[in-house]
Amino acid sequence: MKAPFGVAIVGCGTVGNAVAKLLLSQSSMLFERTGQQISLRALVDIDFDRARAAGLDEGLFRENFTAVLADERIHLIIETVGGLSIARTIIEKSLKAGKHVVSANKALLANYGTEIFELARKNGVCIGFEASCAGGIPIVRALVDGLLANSNEAIYGVVNGTANFILTEMVRNAKSYGDALKQAQADGIAEADSNLDVNGMDSAHKLTLLGSLAFGARISLDEIPVEGIDSLNSFDVSAGLELGYVPKLLAIGCQTKKGLELAVRPAFLAETHPLARVSGVFNAISVYGSDVGHTMYYGRGAGGRATASAVVSDVISIALGTWQVLFSKLSIWPDRGRKIQIADFGESTHRQYLRFLVKDRSGVVAKITAVLASRNISIKVFVLREDRHPSNLVPIVITTYEAREKDISEAMKSIIAMPPVDKDAARIPIIDEQMESN
């Protein structure tokens, strides 16, 4: 009979407690399925009030992390502390002590993943991070195993549940951004400080990791242009819906002739697009492979139990030794990926939704269309809306054919500089369905 595989959890918050409860409640089932006993030996923290409230065994509580690292019966550390500084110290000490690590800390791995992966290899151990990219969705496993035969062409993700909930409220209930955010906070979906969720940085952290795996590339967080949803308003959401588009905060990685295009930004998707139907706190990721074509992964992107599912999946793979094979052999990890050409964002081409507010003056429409034409921007739809904006100005809504981002930017600057045009303008890219190569 195999010796038990010992595990310690550092951090007794929502995720840590959920992982502990899953390991304990499903211990028999996991052994039956794998033939490997996984033994939770310690819960490490400085405050165990939440662990007690969760009904966890006080005999597992430990405050001395150094003693836990010295325990030869413990083979793996699960880091659920979050943040950067303390979590990094915990992970680095664990790796140096020869312990495998599982973490859901996307911010830490996006910023310091290369160094952490290298440290793991140096000490003959590995790191699992399935839960860091999309909660309970097994997207990391898909990219490093199930899709390995493909040269991936694109990855599109709705990977932040808070932002998606807010946008869903704006679409379904015609709420303003501010009211939708308050609803998310009241429902316990958004934190009191939800900046990383709504400003796009949480999605960028995830794209850094997902892009590295999908394209076998070294991607730095600072190479990703990031825009959040906090600038969206209910007027533009409503206008987009009338045109058949649904707003989503997208994490985008796409191979182009000019290099790898990366971005996190709010975008309009056709209401028939698979990702447009992802609502509430749910996440979804579309991957386009050279041979398999379009695959899509959908599920809960956050929450204690969903995250615990992914964490324990990593623990099982490491306990069985299967993750170590992938970790040691593959060249697509953040520390081993090839350096790839990142496309100049200004050269990227997309269709666009544009909205201007103008004073009711003759000739203003001609001036706007002339500026767009001077930048080689072709108009697909032009709507001079009869209903007045709350500002009492006249809204003009335009959708364009594909145009370069930098041409759109320059045209916007020129248009809002004209006296009849208000500086309150909107620009939202329209993302069409990715064309499959097979």
Instruction: Let me know: does 137 contact 297? Beta carbons within 8 Å.
Output: yes
Residues 400-403: contacts with CB within 8 Å, 24+ apart? 400/351, 400/352, 400/354, 400/372, 401/351, 401/377, 402/349, 402/350, 402/351, 403/349, 403/350, 403/351, 403/352, 403/375, 403/376, 403/377, 403/378
**Cα gap 406→347, rounded to integer Å:** 7
Q: Looking at 182, 206, 257, 413, which residue is catalytic?
A: 206
Structure tokens at 243: 């045109």
- Cα atoms in the Cβ-side hemisphere of radius 13 Å centred on 316: 20
Using alpha carbons, select from 155, 213, 207 the residue that is nearest to residue 330: 213
Angle of helix 304-320 versus helix 322-329 axis, rounded to 10 = 80
* Runs of H (alpha helix) within 147-281: 161-172, 177-186, 195-198, 201-215, 234-242
206 in catalytic set: yes
Other Cβ atoms closer than 10 A to 50: 15
CA distance 4 to 38: 6
Residues forming the active site: 206
